[in-house]
Structure 1
């Protein structure tokens, strides 16, 4: 039986082809996908395409566009077995992480992919990424989808979307999931690591569209001063702050720094402590330089990526989670985004 796959093009390099007469890039017509990539005819699936009316560079991505993608999936959810989202690589981890929270009780695959080179280039990575993403979205066992979560596929590896971060702007291996193993690996054979997949749910899909973005992202650095920290943490318009601390969640122990944090928390602001390291976890209280953060009441981001930390924060704020339970919910894994 054929599977039905919906390809959603939002923008990005993967949707561009080079005009070899002029050297200029132009948008690829996805309605002629099989003509450009005849290998897709070997897959036992029916592929339909839909595109943003005005495809965007992923640097312009924002929560409003996340809602557009979610609504396309919501409107077509019953008619398709899986979804492949084509997206620029720069903010792909943010968007894919956001959708993992916006699509609660997801029971079908939503695979994000893109490329470092346009689809028409001689050495492009676009074809392999696209073909394998569609193949993965088509996988079934006992007539049910094998993948039932939001994922990101790039350069022979399938990752849980909310565990990824972009690590390289030039190499084909542009993404990594340093705190969680790949869900699948593509070689001579397509190997699915079933033990790492999210457990399937029988609950009905619940779509969340409210994402509250009145937040700040603060990265600590040696020499950061009180004026800068106060401006960011005590801004009346800022509801919550993600603090990228050092190592295992460490920060300066200077009195002024502690006082600014206390003032922010006492005024009702939410502060999430995440590590600025690509891998590893926040362990507040392990060192003296993080014990004060724990006492003040910062939320432990554990091993969450910054991209997922942002997405999860916007999602919880958008759902008006009460402050008295916010810390407990944030520190709980909702979509496999943290330990």
Structure 2
């Protein structure tokens, strides 16, 4: 029997239908009634933490989750966090960085349909998360959904309706769960030697902008007006930034001179950002932009918020950005051979 802490934060899994649509009302104890079989191998304690539609989750809520984990992790064999799916990848990524060094699995999960609905995926996902928390010998943050185990900082929500709502952004998933049996096939990287363990702080002054065709470079002035030390730009393809008359490159240079860090990532849901391939990417690098190596956009945003809370120095931020703390750089990607093909 394993001792498992269940932290509840609301989300679809706990929703019932009200006059104004679905709202989270079910308690953790009520949700556990849908999975009585897990009590055969788990002693469960429920701790209500938040009660939100995950659309309303904020960085301070990520801090609350990390603080609760820190307060109790030595008492348990594993922790399950119930969360709404819309922003679960952001929360899991943020908590991944703030709980570096944890020696037990922290497993996020939720559902596409409320637990009380017929054919809901909530019972399966909840049971799988508890199974993972009990039987996984990996420390760190994971996310389970539709029978798949993901690294918490390498996952994105990709569907609003399908039960397989999440995909790994950093290569193959960590493992699978079938009929209550857990199989770990690709353990994620974890740096247990880092000095930045349990740094439970965030600085949310990171501006995230998506590049669109014809975008006016003046929009980048939002970074100066809003006192943002870091700007993230979602470029095209491998990280291309338009170099026409819109003034984007000139604005990047101006921000760089003011000590504002400009980080470029790709808009694509799969693959890395590599700004050395095309002239459009190289031009942005020459104007002072950085090419992100973090695979998940959710992880990139939350990692920068976490780093910014540790240091304000641009050169230190850059150094930490390219350091792989918990697999956010996609280290379990299949390697690439000299011809650019994936080695399977």
**Normalized against structure 1, the TM-score is what?**
0.90
Stretch moving more, 207-216 or 81-90: 207-216
What's the counterpart of residue 225 of structure 2? 235
SS of the residue 2:10 aligns to: coil
Counterparts of residues 133-152 of structure 1 (less than 5 Å) = 133-139=129-135, 146-152=137-143
Counterparts of residues 3-82 of structure 1 (less than 5 Å) = 3-17=2-16, 27-42=25-40, 44-52=41-49, 54-82=50-78
Structure 2: distance between partners of 1:73 and 1:233: 33
Q: CA deviation at 1:25?
A: 6.1
What's the counterpart of residue 244 of structure 1? 234
Counterparts of residues 32-181 of structure 1 (less than 5 Å) = 32-42=30-40, 44-52=41-49, 54-139=50-135, 146-181=137-172
Structure 2: distance between partners of 1:227 and 1:201: 43
Q: CA deviation at 1:15?
A: 1.3
What per-residue deviation string (whole Å, max 9, x for no partner) do you get for residues 255-302 of structure 1? 622111000011010111110100011112211010112222322212
**Normalized against structure 2, the TM-score is what?**
0.89
Structure 2: distance between partners of 1:130 and 1:200: 28
Stretch moving more, 314-323 or 231-240: 231-240
Equivalent pairs, count = 327
Structure 2: distance between partners of 1:25 and 1:235: 37
Whether contact under 8 Å (1:114, 1:126) holds in the other structure is: yes
Q: CA deviation at 1:29?
A: 2.7
Whether contact under 8 Å (2:2, 2:43) holds in the other structure is: yes
What's the counterpart of residue 342 of structure 2? none
Whether contact under 8 Å (2:100, 2:140) holds in the other structure is: no
Structure 2: distance between partners of 1:293 and 1:169: 34
| Residue 328 (1) aligns with residue 319 (2) | yes
SS of the residue 1:162 aligns to: coil
5+ residue gaps, structure 1, are 140-144
SS of the residue 1:131 aligns to: helix
Q: CA deviation at 1:71?
A: 1.3
Structure 2: distance between partners of 1:223 and 1:322: 32
SS of the residue 2:29 aligns to: helix
Structure 2: distance between partners of 1:100 and 1:335: 7
Whether contact under 8 Å (1:118, 1:124) holds in the other structure is: yes
Whether contact under 8 Å (2:16, 2:114) holds in the other structure is: yes
Q: CA deviation at 1:324?
A: 2.1
Please give the root-mean-square deviation of Cα atoms over the aligned residues, in Å.
2.2
Whether contact under 8 Å (1:103, 1:205) holds in the other structure is: no
Whether contact under 8 Å (2:190, 2:327) holds in the other structure is: no
Q: Which one of the candidate residues 244, 251, 256 is aligned to 1:254?
A: 244
Structure 1: distance between partners of 2:306 and 2:93: 10
Q: CA deviation at 1:41?
A: 2.6
